[in-house]
Amino acid sequence: MDVNAAVAAAAAIAGVLTGVIAVLAFRWSEREQKRPTRTSLHTDPVLPPGVDTVLSVLRSSAVVLDEADAVVKASSAAYALGLVRGGKLSVEPMLRMARDTRRDGEIRQVELDLPRRGTGRGEALAVSARVAPLGSRLVLLLVEDLTEARRIEAVRRDFVANVSHELKTPVGALSLLSEAVMGASDDPEAVERFAGRMQIEATRLTNLVQELIDLSRVQNDDPLEDAEPVRVDELVAEAIDRCRHQAGAKNITMAAGGTADLHVWGNRGQLAAALGNLVENAVNYSPARTRVGIAARRLNAPGGDMIEVAVTDQGIGISERDKERVFERFYRVDPARSRATGGTGLGLAIVKHVVASHGGEVTVWSAEGQGSTFTLRLPEAGVARDRALQHPDLDDPDGSDDLDGLGEEPGRHTASTPPSRPSSSYEPHPAPEVLP
DSSP output for 185-231: TT-HHHHHHHHHHHHHHHHHHHHHHHHHHHHHHHHHS-TTTT-EEEE
- pTM here is 0.52
Number of CB atoms found within 10 A of residue 389's CB: 9
- Taking the C-alpha atoms of residue 102 and residue 107, their distance in angstroms, rounded to an integer, is 10
Burial 83-117 (b: 16+ CB within 10 A, else e): bbeeeebbbeebbebbeebbeeeeebeeebebeee
Per-residue pLDDT 10s for the chain (436 aa) are: 565 666 566 666 766 666 666 666 656 656 655 554 433 334 445 667 767 777 776 778 888 988 888 888 888 888 888 888 888 888 888 989 989 988 888 899 988 888 776 544 556 788 889 999 987 788 899 998 888 888 878 777 777 777 777 778 788 888 888 888 888 888 888 888 888 888 888 887 887 787 777 767 666 666 667 788 999 999 999 999 988 888 998 999 999 988 888 999 888 888 998 999 899 889 988 899 999 999 999 998 877 789 999 999 998 888 888 777 788 776 666 554 445 555 556 778 888 888 888 889 999 998 888 899 999 999 998 655 555 555 544 444 444 444 343 444 333 333 433 334 433 333 433 333 333 3
Closest by Cα among 72, 80, 142 to 109 = 142
Closest by Cα among 262, 272, 314, 308 to 293 = 314
Q: What is residue 40's DSSP assignment?
A: G
Neighbour-count burial of 77, counting CB atoms closer than 10 A to its CB (0-12 exposed, 13-18 middle, 19+ buried): middle
Q: What is residue 169's DSSP assignment?
A: H
Predicted pLDDT of residue 185:
82
- Containing 170, the helix (H) or strand (E) segment is helix 147-183
Beta-carbon contacts of 340 under 8 Å, excluding residues fewer than 6 positions away, are none
Predicted pLDDT of residue 310:
94
Strand partners, 47: none
The string of pLDDT tens digits covering residues 414-429 is 343 333 443 333 343 3
Closest by Cα among 68, 200, 65, 35 to 133 = 65
Neighbour-count burial of 6, counting CB atoms closer than 10 A to its CB (0-12 exposed, 13-18 middle, 19+ buried): exposed
Closest by Cα among 412, 376, 361, 397 to 222 = 397
CA distances from 159 to 156, 167, 216, 409 (A): 5, 12, 13, 10
End-to-end alpha-carbon separation of the chain, Å? 142
- Containing 15, the helix (H) or strand (E) segment is helix 2-34
Q: What is residue 434's DSSP assignment?
A: P
Number of CB atoms found within 10 A of residue 342's CB: 16
- Taking the C-alpha atoms of residue 435 and residue 182, their distance in angstroms, rounded to an integer, is 47
